[in-house]
């Protein structure tokens, strides 16, 4: 953003005429604004005028209303699936960061041409998972595109499973999250790494002499942590 101003003062003239004018111009991320102040005096009258001008654009896309500078050709709304504060690059130059809704509006793309967009990942929290950090978008003239980066939160943890006597499940025991399907193999001390966990999960373990199921709770703060132990209760055979 930048601020510019002009000032004009005309001291004196016929009939004691005096005239002054000032203009303040501001260009920012969300548009341009100009403030004009004008004052004239003479022995028989006094005149003051103030005017405010503003130009810009409003875009409603992906459930968010965004303001920007005037769109002359094409634009893109970058989405990081609700993850805020993600740095966004256009042609390898930083153009801004996503807002609280995970959006950033880029108002000056070239239409009918491939525009290279990317996100900077090294500054993101460890529990943010990114499947792709680069995209190419080709908007039509006088239109926009939604550039959605597949960004999400890692919902996995190391889960400790024990039997009904409190002993860790045997090494090599195969377990499955019944709701979402991720599976793993128990390691030392009953630990198994599971991804795709929800707030409430049922984890099934295949034992030598039957099957047991553990109720595993998960919170966002548990990501990448070791949680448990959770008791795996044997299911009754028919």
Please give the Cα distance from 184 to 191 (Å, whole number). 10
Q: What is the pLDDT of residue 41?
A: 83
Q: What is the mean pLDDT of residues 31-44?
A: 84
Q: What is the pLDDT of residue 154?
A: 86
Q: Bigger pLDDT: 123 or 184?
A: 184
Average model confidence (pLDDT) across the chain: 89
The whole-model pTM stands at 0.65
Q: Kindly indicate the confidence band of residue 9, based on its pLDDT and cuts at 50, 70 and 90.
A: low
Q: Bigger pLDDT: 48 or 8?
A: 48
Q: Bigger pLDDT: 75 or 40?
A: 75
CB atoms within 10 A of CB 186: 22
Q: What is the pLDDT of residue 206?
A: 93
DSSP the chain: -EEEEEEEEE---GGG-EEEEEEEEEEETTEEEEEEEEEEEETTEEEEEEEEEEE-EEEEETTEEEEES--SSEEEEEE-TT--S-EEEETTEEEEE--TTSEEEEEEEPTTS-EEEEE--TTS-TTEEES--EEEE-PPTTEEEEEE--EEE---EEEEEE-TTSPBPPTT-EEEETTT--EEE--GGGEEEE-S--SEEEEEEEETTEEEEEEEE--GGGTTSEEEEEE-EEPPP-
Q: What is the pLDDT of residue 220?
A: 87
Tens digits of residue pLDDT in 93-105: 999 999 999 999 9
Beta bridge partners of 191: 160
DSSP strand pairing (74-79 vs 143-148) = parallel
Please state the φ and ψ torsions of residue 41, each to the nearest 5 degrees. Answer: -135, 150
Is the pLDDT score of 238 beyond 60?
no
Q: What is the mean pLDDT of residues 44-53?
A: 86
Is the pLDDT score of 46 beyond 90?
no
């Amino acid at each position: 953003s930048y601020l510019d101003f002009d000032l004009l003062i005309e001291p004196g003239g016929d009939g004691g005429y005096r005239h002054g004018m000032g203009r303040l111009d501001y260009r920012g991320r969300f548009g341009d604004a100009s403030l004009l102040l004008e004052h004239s005096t003479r022995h028989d009258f006094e005149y003051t005028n103030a005017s405010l001008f503003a130009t810009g654009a409003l875009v409603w896309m992906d459930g968010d209303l965004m303001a920007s500078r005037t769109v002359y050709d094409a634009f893109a709304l970058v989405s990081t699936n609700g993850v805020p504060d993600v740095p966004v690059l256009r042609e390898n130059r930083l153009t801004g960061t996503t807002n609280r809704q995970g959006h950033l509006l880029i108002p000056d793309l070239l239409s009918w041409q491939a525009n290279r967009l990317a996100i900077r990942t090294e500054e993101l929290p460890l529990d943010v998972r990114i499947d792709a950090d680069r995209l190419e978008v080709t908007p039509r003239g006088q239109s926009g595109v939604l550039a959605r980066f597949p960004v999400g939160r890692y919902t996995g943890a190391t889960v400790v499973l024990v039997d009904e006597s409190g002993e860790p499940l045997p090494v090599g025991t195969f377990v499955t999250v019944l709701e979402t399907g991720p599976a793993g193999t128990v390691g030392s001390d009953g630990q198994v790494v599971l991804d795709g966990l929800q707030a409430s999960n049922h984890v099934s373990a295949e034992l030598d002499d039957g099957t047991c199921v553990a109720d595993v709770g998960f919170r966002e703060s548990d990501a990448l942590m070791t949680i448990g132990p959770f008791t795996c209760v044997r299911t009754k055979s028919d």
